[in-house]
Amino acid sequence: TVDRVDVVAPPVLLAAAVRGDLLDAVPGYRSAFLRTFGGLTPENGQKMDVLQPTWGSYAWAASDRLVRFANEQRLPVRGHPLVYWDQLPRWITRPWVPWTRAELRAVLRGHAYATTRRYRGRIDRWDVVNEVLDWTGRRRPSVWQNVIGDGYVEDAFRAAHAGDPGARLVYNETGIEFPSPQQDAAVRLVADLRSRGVPIDGVGLQGHLDVDGPPSSEDLDAVISRFAALGVGVEFTEVDVSLPGRPTTDVLARQAAAYATVADACWRHVACDRMTVWGIGDDHGWRGRDARALVLDSGYRGKPALTAVREGLAGE
């Protein structure tokens, strides 16, 4: 579906994952971010091990600093993530006495509520649940899934909505850019939540891609359309495109083409309003320096991928 050309829609925002610990520590990091991107997601700084290191006591300081920085720069923040299977504090994964379902539900709801409540009016969208399904489409095992069961997803959305009724609430998933049983299950999950009035506003497609097998335009059109038909927004939330080996001109051009496919798909659908890349420059990408997966190189110079993304998001 090509629908962006038919309406007056705001431009698509290009954002990036930011590590607060690098903002002041690494020369060039902050200025590269500010001159290239128009919004941010904390890469690790709002994960539960950071925010609630001991049961019931929150460590907001580092997260507050990053949010204050963004607010001062008038840049929107995607909060990330309220409920995730990874990066959990040890008191959750290794309790002295195993959790009862009621106890862990209270923990989950308390964390989602306290966090959205704290940043009410300062963070306007949240990854509420992150990576719910495995590649076969079944629920991914996690302490939340194992102890609470399927209902943990609904619990998280309802608690986040209670904490900030104005925030846009997103289900963020990995690997569903391509047609697959996992994508089908994600569509069924969103349809079910919507049909029962659970406050979900959007779906995040993470977009961790490889230069040798990126999704096609048709793949992306199809997945965006499936979710848009359910009445939710869609965004690309963690895009990177890793390289197999040396960054030859040819490989960098293919990386740029993969980025262009994502940017272009987002531009063409009114439902898609933001594209976030998962890091600033190749020196700090989570996939390792050699993967060179980002749009700026290790010296924070724009790669062909940056030009491609800018053109794609502008509909050029």
If one asks whether residue 298 binds ligand G3I (CB under 6 A), the answer comes out as: no
Choice among 43, 131, 173, 177 that is catalytic: 131
Which CB, 44 or 225, lies closer to ligand G3I? 44
**Using rule CB under 6 A, residue 86 touches ligand G3I:** yes
Contacts 24+ apart (CB under 8 A), 138-146: 138/185, 140/85, 141/85, 142/85, 143/85, 143/88, 143/92, 143/93, 143/99, 143/104, 144/83, 144/85, 144/104, 144/108, 145/85
235 binds ligand G3I (CB under 6 A): no
Among 206, 242, 261, 276, binds ligand G3I (CB under 6 A): 206
Choosing from 52, 174, 255, 261, the residue that interacts with ligand G3I (CB under 6 A) is: 174
Q: Is 44 in the site for ligand G3I (CB under 6 A)?
A: yes
Contact present, 184 and 137 (Cβ < 8 Å)? yes
Q: Does 286 bind ligand G3I (CB under 6 A)?
A: yes
- Least distance (Å) between residue 87 CB and ligand G3I: 5
Q: How far apart are CA 16 and CA 39, in angstroms?
A: 7
Closest alpha carbon to 37 in 9, 76, 4: 76
Interacting residues of 179 by C-beta distance below 8 A, sequence separation 6+ = 219, 222, 223
* Binding flag, residue 87, ligand G3I (CB under 6 A): yes
Position 43 contacts ligand G3I (CB under 6 A)? yes
Q: How far is the CB of 47 from ligand G3I (least distance, A)?
A: 7
CA distance 8 to 26: 40
Tell me, yes or no, if 238 is annotated catalytic.
yes
Complex with ligand G3I: residue 63 or 206, whichever CB lies closer: 206
What is the Cα–Cα distance from 316 to 314, expressed in whole angstroms? 6
Least Å distance between CB 97 and ligand G3I? 27
Give the residue nearest to ligand G3I (CB): 286
Instruction: Give the tokens for residue 120.
Output: 């009410």
Question: Do residues 239 and 260 touch, judged by C-beta distance below 8 A?
Answer: no
What is the nearest approach in angstroms of ligand G3I to the Cβ of residue 178? 16
Choosing from 155, 164, 177, 238, the residue that interacts with ligand G3I (CB under 6 A) is 238
Q: Which of 103, 235, 238, 316 is catalytic?
A: 238
Q: Is 183 in the site for ligand G3I (CB under 6 A)?
A: no
3-state secondary structure (DSSP) of residue 217? helix
Gap between the Cα atoms of 3 and 9, Å rounded: 10
Q: Say whether 72 is catalytic.
A: no
Q: Please, what sign has the CA dihedral across residues 87, 162, 239, 62?
A: negative
Q: What is the total residue count of the chain?
A: 316
Q: What is the DSSP letter of 256?
A: H
Could you tell me the smallest distance in angstroms from the CB atom of residue 81 to ligand G3I? 6
| Distance in Å, CB of 195 to ligand G3I, minimum | 27
Which residue's CB is nearer to ligand G3I, number 155 or number 238? 238
Residue 242 within binding range of ligand G3I, rule CB under 6 A = no
In angstroms, the CA 144 to CA 85 distance is 7
Q: Please, what is the minimum distance in Å from the beta carbon of residue 170 to ligand G3I?
A: 12
CA nearest to 263, candidates 230, 239, 233: 239
Amino acid occupying residue 81: P
Is residue 175 within the footprint of ligand G3I (CB under 6 A)?
no
Examine residue 307 and tell whether it contacts ligand G3I (CB under 6 A).
Answer: no
Q: Is 130 in the site for ligand G3I (CB under 6 A)?
A: yes
Residues involved in catalysis: 131, 238
Instruction: Note the residues at the interface with ligand G3I (CB under 6 A).
Output: 43-44, 86-87, 130, 174, 206, 238, 286
